[in-house]
Structure 1
Amino acid sequence: MKRPKLKKASKRVSCSKRFKIEKKVREHNRKLKKAAKKKGVRSKPKKDIGVPNSAPFKEAVLREAEQKKQKLEALKEQNRLAKQKEKADKRKKEKEAVDSGPAAKKAKKVARVKEARAAVAKEKSAKVFKCRELNKVIEASDVIVEVLDARDPLGCRCPQLEETVLKHEGKKKLWFILNKIDLVPRDNLEKWLHCLQAEYPTFLFKASMLLKDRTVQEKKQRDMNPVLDRSRAASCFGRDSLLQAFVNLANKLEDQTMLKVGVVGFPNVGKSSIINSLKEMRACHVGVQRGLTRCMQEVHISKQVKMIDSPGIVAASSNPGGVMALRSLQIMLQYNVPDYRNSLEFLTLVAKKRGFLQKGGIPDTELAATMFLNDWTGFEIFVYLKAKLSYHCRPLEPQGLPSHLSEAILTELKSGLDMVKIRKANENVLQSVHFPNLASSISFTSRGPTNGVLDIAELPKEKITTMKTTTITTTEEDKEEEEVEKITADTEEPEAEISVPATEIEESTKKRKARPVKEVKFISIDLTSQQNVSTEDAYDFNTDFV
């Protein structure tokens, strides 16, 4: 009976009822035993006593029983493998029947089209494609702006690019933008600015790293917000003077067309960040990784100025391997570690110093390397910070104009610019930016300009190896080839080709297939069939096994 306020009924019963139930259960069990006894059925089976010790030839009997047992197990295993093989053959026939249908042919067709698109996308990242895009930017631009990293301005210069621009005989202008000026000491920056201004018009610039607006509407909403981000990472310096120079030059154009400004330079010098800072929104994709920009991209800054982003200059293979040599002593003082012989020993010492240890007290060199790169680049997950490690290149003594530059060309490059206003604007930038301390910055000697490749003929040729695909009928192959040709015709392909090894595809397809059934090998342990049988287990008639 279920009582109120209780979720479950109580199991409690009276003693008389419980005793009656137990009595009926005993009577029922007694009847079952009596019926089983009449039929001759015993509740407990007899235990197999095995072969008694007194029986003669006990070892031979046990050996024979073991052999029979092994034969039965081998027969069971053979039957199991046969059934497994039969099921595999059945699945294979069903799969072949499905593959021969129209759906399978359509899937193969789609796979080939995807492979063609992937090949074209991979070729876009090739060196030949980058050189071609860079040449397009140079031809389409009125002003070519070469972006230099303030930490190593000389190493970011490309003599081949400068010579190519100056060959147009005054039709195109070449300017310098000294970017990332907040990462070097002020005295070092002033000396480099003096050296570069003697050759080309130079603008100091510090790009903003925290631009998140991707549309004009988001930009307007940010401008309406009274709370503005005035942090060092969000602030931009040198924007007004650079835009004013572009506008003044655009006003002097005779045909009243837009001024096209091509932004060029080596990877990771801040080309896309400069365009975003001038546009005041995230028009180009930026990041710490190298080579994010793969093709030319036009961005309208104003009604009179249009900037063209370009992929990074391809460095020539003749450049020395050690482009930058850092002073180990300053790194030792920065991380408070003793002298080290190689990079692995340095990371081990840093891991021990910072407490980056794995199980068993093993130093975690991977975590130490990640921390070191974050300090070096100022990059963390989803956040851009100022680099903790500061380094700069020592300026060189003035050595005169290079061979491809003359006083007449220099005068032509500076025409249309008010150099007095540019110098004053650079001085204002120097007073506004917060520079690191000279003692906390690592200094090194530059290895000179970096050679770049602009001519496609100078690049090493690469070959293409076609990927293996499943064979179909000739008519379907012709149709698929036509579709592949349409896909490749839509996107301009570079002349050089990329090798796609077919062995990698074969290995990946092999892994997807079902694993082959392994045959189980049984070792024969028939002691009677062996020639050299030990007689220690033989029956001894003189021994009483009682």
Structure 2
Amino acid sequence: MKRPKLKKASKRVSCAKRFKIQKKVREHNRKLRKVAKKKGISRKPKKDIGVPNSAPFKEEVLREAEQRKQELETLKEQNKIVKQQERAAKRKKEKEAESAGDGPATKKAKKVVKAKEAKAALIKEKSAKTFKCCELNKVIEESDVIVEVLDARDPLGCRCPQLEETVLKHEGKKKLLFILNKIDLVPKDNVEKWLQYLEAECPTFLFKASMQIQDRTVQQRKQRGITAVLDHSRAASCFGRDCLLQTLTDLANKKDAETMLKVGVVGFPNVGKSSIINSLKEVRVCHVGVQRGMTRCKQEVHITKRLKMIDSPGIVAASSNPGDVMALRSLQVEEKEESPLEAVRTLLKQCNQQHIMLQYNVPDYRNSLEFLTTFAKKRGFLQKGGVPNTELAAMTFLSDWTGPKLSYHSRAPEHQGLPSYLTDAIVTELRSGLDMDVVRKGNENVKKGVRFPNLASSISFNARGPTAGVLNVSELPKETITITAPTEADEKMDGTVNTEEPEAETQVSTVVTQIQESTKKKKAKPTKKVNYVPVNIDLTSVQHNNDDAYDFNTDFV
């Protein structure tokens, strides 16, 4: 029996069971001996008595046995030598074939294979974006109601004008709704201003997704941990579910009795699309996590008999967006298209420096590199020799900003003006069929139940406006992939595949030849002893001013 909190079951057996097993084994062995005795089979091997002393020609017999033994040993050695000669001959043939000209051909073939692999990797990355665009278009086509999820920390940056325009100008006259998610990370006054701003354009629901939901299967519960306990506290509970579910069921009841209402949930990566569906279903049906881009294809979830939610992958952000927008709304860092250090640098420019210092408990810094070094030392992100790991610190900083923990807010615009694709008639049409009194009352109840952070503990962030997205596959940037033929310098060395432009390739080849010439000259000269000078690699010590340092070379009177 496996006891709790043990990886393996115990091997201990009760005494009665052990004695019973031993008795059965004894009976079985006794039976086997009895059968062998009847057949005349003896289990003990007969001992070789050798040549008796009374036997005639004893010395000759022993001498013949010794000769036979030596012959067997010599035969084994001969076979071993023959095998070694065959291996040597095989190696010699391979070397002759390489020297004859077959070797470079095989190297060229290897380089072509590597180039094809690199091309396939680039095509796979590009095809992932095209696949996301196709899946998003399928969700828009199949859905009757489109719900755009906005992060309450930067609602304007989570809006995609291209998506809203295609939904509103669709032939099927689809409804568009806004969900302001993660409101527990924004001050209350800021949430009210954003709600007032968004309600003037489209019906908006306040929402806080549940952080602790029961698993759908036993396997999911085992993956999360057998002893995991659901947190039913106020911080982990869901707010806004009843109002949103009631509104969607009312819309579903107004349709035909046979058809279901299909609601497509769209938005940029890591705004909480899958978490909202899990909160409505109250079961973990969609895979969620802190990492962005977890949802890679559309997924249909039946909430009720008349209501079906469709989860979609994140909107692909256009490359024309500014750097801080791409750091928050794009997957460039995860896909290794942009360095995390550059993303942190662009983000820090849009934040209040004093708020960052208070939030992360770091001293005054002059640039992003100094901030990351102090942040890495504070968190213990150190490499060999005590050097701060700035790249790991940058990844942690970005996960804080895109995850569900850090509190930051952006100001709502004061002057309200409808976008070019929105008119007063479209706004009234979006509100038709919805009980706006129920929506407002539900939002008021959510504001009363959620515990909002203080304005002093939240970071002020300068929003850049809506984020441009890509919906058509033709609008994606085309990536040119060129495969170059291997040069003579590459054939001599272990070649690598270049997938760059021809100008860059010529520069690289000239640099390689210069390096080879310099190495040949260095080999011809006699070697000299080199005295190594220690260099200070501490970034923080380099950045501090040394104005107050004492100079020992000058005499002070």
Partners of 1:201 and 1:213 in 2: CA distance: 32
> Which residue number in structure 2 is paired with residue 346 of structure 1?
371
Alignment of 1:452-471 (within 5 A): 452-462=469-479
Contact 1:213 1:281 in 2 (8 A): yes
Match of 1:147 among 138, 146, 149: 149
Contact 1:127 1:314 in 2 (8 A): yes
- CA change 1:84–1:256 in 2 (3 A) is closer
Partners of 1:349 and 1:422 in 2: CA distance: 47
Contact 1:123 1:129 in 2 (8 A): no
- CA change 1:120–1:215 in 2 (3 A) is farther
Contact 2:317 2:468 in 1 (8 A): yes
Partners of 2:418 and 2:280 in 1: CA distance: 31
Alignment of 1:37-48 (within 5 A): none
- CA change 1:348–1:229 in 2 (3 A) is closer
1:330 aligns with 2:355: yes
> Which residue number in structure 1 is paired with residue 420 of structure 2?
403
Per-residue CA shift, 1:451-503, capped at 9, x if unaligned? 1111222222346789xxxxxxxxxxxxxxxxxxxxxxxxxxxxxxxxxx977
Contact 1:132 1:456 in 2 (8 A): yes
Gaps of 5+ in 2: 1-83, 97-112, 222-228, 326-346, 484-495, 500-557
Per-residue CA shift, 1:408-458, capped at 9, x if unaligned? 111111111110010010010011111111101011221010111112222
> Which residue number in structure 2 is paired with residue 130 of structure 1?
132
Partners of 1:372 and 1:123 in 2: CA distance: 25
* 3-state secondary structure, aligned to 1:424: helix
Q: How many angstroms does 1:352 deviate by?
A: 4.1
Partners of 1:353 and 1:228 in 2: CA distance: 32
Q: How many angstroms does 1:303 deviate by?
A: 0.4
Task: Report the AA paired with residue 292 of structure 1.
Answer: M
Match of 1:303 among 305, 321, 324: 305
Alignment of 1:275-290 (within 5 A): 275-290=277-292
Per-residue CA shift, 1:303-338, capped at 9, x if unaligned? 000111111111112212233511122112333433
With the length of structure 1 as denominator, give the TM-score of the two structures.
Answer: 0.59
Per-residue CA shift, 1:379-427, capped at 9, x if unaligned? xxxxxxx52x311111111322222111211111111111001001001
Match of 1:182 among 178, 181, 184: 184
- CA change 1:340–1:401 in 2 (3 A) is same
Task: Report the AA paired with residue 274 of structure 1.
Answer: I
> Which residue number in structure 2 is paired with residue 260 of structure 1?
262
- CA change 1:288–1:351 in 2 (3 A) is closer
Partners of 2:380 and 2:170 in 1: CA distance: 59
Contact 2:158 2:466 in 1 (8 A): yes
* 3-state secondary structure, aligned to 2:301: strand
Q: How many angstroms does 1:364 deviate by?
A: 4.4
* 3-state secondary structure, aligned to 1:164: helix
Contact 2:212 2:231 in 1 (8 A): no
Partners of 2:311 and 2:317 in 1: CA distance: 18
1:425 aligns with 2:427: no
Match of 1:158 among 153, 157, 160: 160
Q: How many angstroms does 1:371 deviate by?
A: 5.3
Per-residue CA shift, 1:49-92, capped at 9, x if unaligned? xxxxxxxxxxxxxxxxxxxxxxxxxxxxxxxx999854645899
> Which residue number in structure 2 is paired with residue 250 of structure 1?
252
- CA change 1:371–1:318 in 2 (3 A) is closer
- CA change 1:358–1:313 in 2 (3 A) is closer
Q: How many angstroms does 1:160 deviate by?
A: 0.7
* 3-state secondary structure, aligned to 1:322: helix
Per-residue CA shift, 1:271-312, capped at 9, x if unaligned? 111111111112111112222212211111110001111111
Partners of 1:192 and 1:334 in 2: CA distance: 23
- CA change 1:125–1:271 in 2 (3 A) is farther
Match of 1:443 among 454, 460, 463: 460
Contact 2:298 2:311 in 1 (8 A): yes
| CA root-mean-square deviation | 4.1
Task: Report the AA paired with residue 437 of structure 1.
Answer: N
Partners of 1:370 and 1:211 in 2: CA distance: 27
Contact 1:215 1:281 in 2 (8 A): no
Task: Report the AA paired with residue 314 of structure 2.
Answer: G
- CA change 1:125–1:287 in 2 (3 A) is farther
Partners of 1:266 and 1:200 in 2: CA distance: 18
Match of 2:276 among 249, 255, 274: 274
Per-residue CA shift, 1:223-264, capped at 9, x if unaligned? xxxx86313453111111111111100110135310000111
* 3-state secondary structure, aligned to 2:320: coil
Partners of 2:379 and 2:174 in 1: CA distance: 53
Partners of 1:82 and 1:255 in 2: CA distance: 86
Larger Rg: 1
Identity of aligned residues (%): 74
